[in-house]
A and B are shown apart, each in its own frame.
Chain A
């Protein structure tokens, strides 16, 4: 299972773009990179998943370079409601043995 490393915390301001980088030097060939968001007192919510290059959905973009040793979650124009903990995980094809790290606590300020 890939061990991931993320910054413990980040601060941003409303309207800015936020990029959270995750390191996963030992990611397996078959692993996908998956990001979750968690608000206080709630379960995590799936944001985005990718294998390589760039993936975009209505919430975020995920950039994975060719060597796949890191990835960057990009949140465009954040708002106060984006204040949450963001988790990066390397997961196998079936996503059936996911291990969460400590995550990145993002605080968006007015």
Chain B
């Protein structure tokens, strides 16, 4: 099993550009989440989903959109990138106990 797959691994954006970070899991997990982690900091929850068609906001949702049209996929959209969104983004999924995290997307906004 691949687990949680995030693409791309690295991305550089210009201020104002939009993009989608992809996240896919092949474990048939109901729950999926997106986090960002700034240097030397803990993870902060952006959005999460408890199943296909259901999403909710976390701690830092501004500037990000999500959708969950299938169980497997949970893309994160940056609407208009800002330098403050420079961070490492982690996607995670769970069936109820313990989350499996992806390897992350390192995003730089210049």
Spot the interface stretch: A10-18, A19-27, A71-79, A94-102: A94-102
Please give, as numbers and ranges, the residues of chain A lying within 8 Å of B109 by CB-CB distance. Answer: none
List residues of chain B with CB within 8 A of the CB of A100: 35, 42-45
Give the shortest distance, in Å, between B57 (CB) and chain A (any CB): 10
Complexed CA–CA distance, A99 and B45 (Å)? 6
**A95 partner residues in chain B, CB cutoff 8 A:** 31, 94, 96-99
How far apart are the CA atoms of A96 and B34 in the complex, in Å? 11
Q: Pick from B31, B50, B97, B101: contact of A44, CB below 8 A.
A: B101
| B35 lies within 8 A of A94 (CB) | no
Q: Are A97 and B92 in contact (CB under 8 A)?
A: no
Q: How far is the CA of A96 from the CA of B74 in the complex (A)?
A: 14
Closest to A87 in B: B42
B45 close to A42 (CB less than 8 A): no
- Contact string against A for B residues 21-55, beta-carbon threshold 8 Å, 1 for contact and 0 otherwise: 00000000001010100000111110010100000
Residues of A within 8 A of B (CB): 34, 36, 41-46, 49, 87, 94-103
30 A-B contact pairs sorted by A residue (CB < 8 Å): A36-B99, A41-B104, A42-B104, A43-B4, A43-B90, A44-B43, A44-B92, A44-B99, A44-B101, A46-B97, A46-B98, A46-B99, A87-B42, A94-B31, A94-B50, A95-B31, A95-B94, A96-B31, A96-B33, A96-B50, A96-B94, A97-B48, A97-B56, A97-B58, A98-B45, A99-B45, A99-B58, A99-B59, A100-B44, A102-B42
B interface list, Cβ under 8 A from A? 4, 31, 33, 35, 41-45, 48, 50, 56, 58-59, 90, 92, 94, 96-104
